[in-house]
Structure 1
């Protein structure tokens, strides 16, 4: 018996679910609102240059080494010369820049010398961070590594990263490097409100990539995302028999309080009601909010938790250059940029992309803006209050403030054009920008509101980045894992004998397993983590360090 599956949403979650279901013989149809598949991961045409359009991205791709589910899928997407996975390339360096003129480069490969290890540790903890504060932060990371899962769920979920690392008591350098740093620039989460559970888990996995020779700490694609990833994926899905619709907007989900009875979809020929045996809801959390009805909530009560989830902005802008400016072969983080900028120079990685098709364009600098509520340096306004043109001017000015130190790395005459993510649009009525593609933010205590992929509704599963997963971070990896969990639920429901989708847990260094078991015993006995006293010790130590009488001994 063939089961019909309707997948509502054609981002990474929806395409992942379609892939897994189609390979197991299901009749699958995908409905996607945009004219391209890929969701937040898609690329799209930028400014036109004659008959050709410059390549643009929602944001640059970043695939750290701890991703397992998405790379596995990539290995199963064929291309003319191999698989999509072959289009992953490793970066070599992270560039860290400040407007003060201080900058440094950190290799992302595993060190092969004592000097290299020393440099790695200094770069990790910030050479400008006082030594005693660096030691304290290292102790906090060791505490996390030796914590049991129950403590992660019951304790770290309910405290912010800022509070967990005692950032309020520390120097400006500590707050900049270790409080914000990677946290806001790479995952767009404010450390003051985001949970230590989420940031801690991702931080440790990112750090692991810098020390484990079996992992690629930082990978990206060797061409525009749709060219080398999404479009080959869509072609493969069509070969598998999947029916794919673009320009198909889900306007409602009909339910009778127990089951989904249909989905209303607006297409070119008008609205239609789509019916299927099973439904995969693969739409962003902000869109799901608009579809909730009493009957749908009665059928799938866990969806009500979506109302309690917070979202932030993390969107990209492309700068097209008259000459290539490679900066470094990897990501650049602009630590004291008010808009929390991160960038990558794309052409050095896009070896096979035909840049000759675009007159004058010799380079593409792809930039992510992760902070939209702080005033900028050019107009003195938060990004939300700027026009699209002002956002481009402001981001360019902040890049120049970091890179044009001593020499004009980014002079004005090198700029050919720019293109801001079209999800960012001006709202005349509100007098500010709106974002049609916000990103889930894992705020303190929000894990309880995130639904499982398997809902109580017998014919509805979820496949999106707000679903509870091992990854626990809004990302392509999370969406792919959620889709696998949703597909496994469908296989169970219909009694399929097909193999279940593979799932992987985050890996933790085995050397800390005794500590994790010790902490699990402490939790059962109602005791704190064995290292819990370090915070109180630090407070006492700080009091001595800053006292007028004794503090001079710490500065000598």
Structure 2
């Protein structure tokens, strides 16, 4: 480049950005962009539901609901005993519960911040906690949202017919503690061979390169990896005792609706490893939950901070994105940007548009772009949520799949087969009028029909609920991980139940798991909930509000990792500015063809795509290093989207001549150590502002295994089996260099 490129903040006109959606992805993109000098407006369709109902006076809340799926859900008692607004009396309760005087807070299941959520922890440290100072309004304090996180040090688990177990969320501090944990495991009926075989498979995964994981393990289920399944012979190399085999099959269901038989090995095992590695942390943020409802402890502070930075919030739902006509002879970097049309018919044409809505909405509003021939992510969104899953399994060839369309929010069409990429993962909140804290941490109810997990949320809150004001003093937040498996007690699945049936059956399964189905023990030891609130995204067949009868709609379909489905995600591969991660870059001919013909731009080093000179996508349905649908994936995807905007902005500012092969400074990293902390000590600069730092969780795996992992990468590049599977390969001189340079995950 022959002339200096001005940063967005120093230009005569600051480039404008419209962020569609005020979830975690949208808010992250807004903060990263406004800090780099862009003028940002966030559009969100939903209003904050607390006005006149929450703990603060009406009119003091944001104009829109923030946080998306992660936001707290505030419920009140409806005019008809709970049918109109979400708080309902627990069926079969004893006596008349005290009605709360204001809306009560609950969560979409529960919030959980493991130590490997490095993007989220980094953002926590950059959001001040605000307080209201009379006429001065909302002012920042010296504290940050990071200080609002409380450490969780225990985890419980129930196994059928056995006492409930409690495990520390940290490594044993002494041989005595280690032996105590071993005795617990032995009590589950597992053998020494079970543990040895399982650990050997985990170690084998650790010495497998990201390249081989991408080529082989994304098309293999987690269960098949642990049993060493050979598709050619149909045989298994490893076996386990019946008790351990059942745990391998069922346990992942209680963790974000994972499925060991249909979930891909790379996503499932990488996530498991990160949860295990959390226990090696000895700071106060190894495993955390917030000290209050998520909206109050996090999103309210985020809103005040973004407003202070200059972000504007507008209530509005985008109905379509339209490409504007252009002269084909016009240089690509000068072609017009996309126009946004909102539900009220207003239109805006910003310089950039960040689409941070859920996948069904993204597919819907981008249909005009696809009709105009735009490719890349936009083109691959077609059918991503609306095509029915293949009837013969996730690996059925695309050419033989049905093209039948569906409503992705319809419960009759959503998640009917376990390999449907969209499932129902929702929560239920139980409110008690007496103190009830089962465990100061998360409980996993292994083997329950509906794959349940829970936490007593209020035990970590600074402001405890008060009975006379809130109608309760304790909250149990429960995630229902399997809406499709029939209950052995009811004879039907959760998806076919009414709200009262779900509330009663979930509570029955919890009590049965804790008491070993001893009804007399249950009556003597367990309290009864006074109220319950079912996840707001679930809608019933009849009545106002959420309604009554069986559920017919899920407004929050949950994307699960399915065998062979990673390549079907619409976005391109994530890119790590530090260059320590395996990624892909577009070939030269692709770059020219898509820029000229399909209006898709991508930086030469790879990363997210920019469509029609303006549109980028963010959200959990995009490809991320986190992989699993989570708050962390949302935060990470937004950083990738912002990095793509920075690269595109530089390309446009350089007159369309910027073809940078090398975009970052040279740094030497010992085994990607930067991904170990909660924030990066090195920020990669660009003329438009620093790249957002991106954490790759596979770089956080133990350095002890890194050399063999990099060696395996060399083997995989030459289509050779893993070094441990082909010891003769070294003697045959298969490699020119046995040990590649220590460049992170490459």
Deviates more, 1:498-507 or 1:401-410: 401-410
1:289 aligns with 2:363: yes
Query: 1:52 matched to which residue of 2?
Result: 102
The separation in 2 between residues aligned to 1:435 and 1:220, in whole angstroms, is: 26
Higher share of residues assigned helix: 1
Q: CA deviation at 1:509?
A: 0.7
Partner of 2:76, secondary structure, is: strand
Q: Do 1:256 and 1:295's aligned partners in 2 also have CA atoms closer than 8 Å?
A: no
Aligned match of 2:689: 498
Mark the CA change 1:245 to 1:440 in structure 2 (over 3 Å): closer, same or farther: same
TM-score by length of 2: 0.67
Structure-2 change in CA distance of 1:431 and 1:46 (3 Å): closer
Q: Which moved more, 1:50-59 or 1:379-388?
A: 50-59
Q: 1:442 aligns with which of 561, 565, 573?
A: 561
Cα shift readout 1:50-79 (whole Å, capped 9, x = no counterpart)? 531111111200111111111111111111
Task: Provide closer, same or farther for how the CA distance between residues 476 and 193 of structure 1 changes in structure 2, counting only shifts above 3 A.
Answer: same
User: Are the counterparts in 2 of residues 316 and 368 from structure 1 also a CA contact under 8 Å?
Assistant: yes
Q: Indicate if the aligned counterparts of 2:433 and 2:472 stay in contact, CA closer than 8 A.
A: yes
Establish whether residue 528 from structure 1 lines up as the match of residue 721 from structure 2. yes
User: What is the aligned counterpart of 2:443 among 320, 332, 338?
Assistant: 332
SS at match of 2:75: strand
Q: Which has the larger radius of gyration?
A: 2
1:301 aligns with 2:369: no
Distance 1:449 1:165 in 2: 25
Mapped contact 1:94–1:105 kept (Cα < 8 A) = yes
Instruction: Look up the match of 1:176.
Output: 246
SS across alignment from 2:318 = strand
Q: Is the 8 A contact 2:154 2:169 kept in 1?
A: yes
SS of the residue corresponding to residue 552 of structure 2 reads: strand
Spell out the pairing of 1:124-523 with structure 2 (5 A cutoff): 127-166=188-227, 169-181=239-251, 183-213=252-282, 216-246=285-315, 248-256=316-324, 261-266=338-343, 270-293=344-367, 295-296=369-370, 298-306=373-381, 307-308=383-384, 310-356=421-467, 358-405=469-516, 407-408=521-522, 414-427=528-541, 432-450=551-569, 451-452=571-572, 454-457=608-611, 458-495=613-650, 496-506=687-697, 507-523=700-716
**SS state of the match for residue 529, structure 1?**
coil
- 8 Å CA contact 1:426, 1:433 repeated in 2: yes
1-structure distance, mates of 2:121, 2:184: 28
| Structure 2: gaps of 5 or more residues | 1-12, 48-64, 78-98, 131-140, 229-235, 326-334, 386-420, 544-548, 573-606, 651-686, 727-746
**CA pair 176-218 structure 1, distance change in 2 beyond 3 A:** farther
* Aligned length in residues: 528
Aligned with residue 114 of structure 1, among 170, 175, 191: 175
Match of 1:537 in 2: none
RMSD: 2.5
- Structure 1 spans left out of the alignment, 5+ residues: 534-556
Spell out, residue by residue over 1:517-548, the C-alpha distance to the aligned partner (whole angstroms, 9 max, x if none): 23223223433224459xxxxxxxxxxxxxxx
Q: Separation in 1 of the partners of 2:156 and 2:271?
A: 20
Cα distance in 2, alignment partners of residues 124 and 254 from structure 1: 59
Which structure's residues are more often strand, by fraction? 1
What TM-score do the two structures reach when normalised by structure 1?
0.89
> SS where residue 478 of structure 2 aligns?
strand
Deviation at 1:6, TM superposition (A): 0.5
Q: Is the 8 A contact 1:125 1:178 kept in 2?
A: no
Structure 1 residues 85 and 410: alpha-carbon distance in aligned structure 2, compared to 1, 3 A threshold: farther
